Structure 1
């Protein structure tokens, strides 16, 4: 039996089985009006500042991230990003428990300028409210926001 026929047979049997539960392995990226991004995956939100925000700040010279295991509430100040131009508070866009903090950005603040939406993430929250996730901006709405003249 060829591999193609074997695979088709296996998949057909598995799809017809009521015990099959396909896991969801994708992330959803959302944004806040205060220029944080949130990548949602498996009940955890990874949070950082957007590329737009890091461009506005300029060279980042100091970063403070929240403590792991701390409980946070929506819009609570949880950290600070300081640049040569200004200091900005970091707000949590989700309520829940901090499950990770990126200590690499504390010791190497340039990560935020080099890759703010990947390696420059700040912290992760195991969130407690799907409604808070649903209230975040999608990419198209965030792009509209930053294209407005007052941003």
Structure 2
């Protein structure tokens, strides 16, 4: 348990360093990779975004990452929710978006959701709780 806390804290510090040194360019590079279409690269970038959005959430005391990440990544993440995407990509995108909308500015920027996005989330809600939570956050 203590070791897990140490690892989590190191990962949070690493995420902060990546964002602070790369700033918007780092997030733009992730965004470009997500839309690139090379499956292994898309997956790696989605995993990175999911990890960073979790580590640098307002729940963990970081209020600066979400608005910037949302402005750069939200459109690409929303695109990854669609039916024709690989299920893992859809789940990672929903997890990342859920972490980002915990910041009020991000939630306001996503609303209103397009009809096809809402339908994709409803379909995805059968597979993962993150889609259910994201729908709840966006539809209340």
Check whether TM > 0.5. no
TM-score by length of 2: 0.25
TM-score by length of 1: 0.24
Larger radius of gyration: 1
Q: Relative contact order, CA 8 A, sep 6+: which one is greater? A: 1
More helix by share: 2
More strand by share: 1
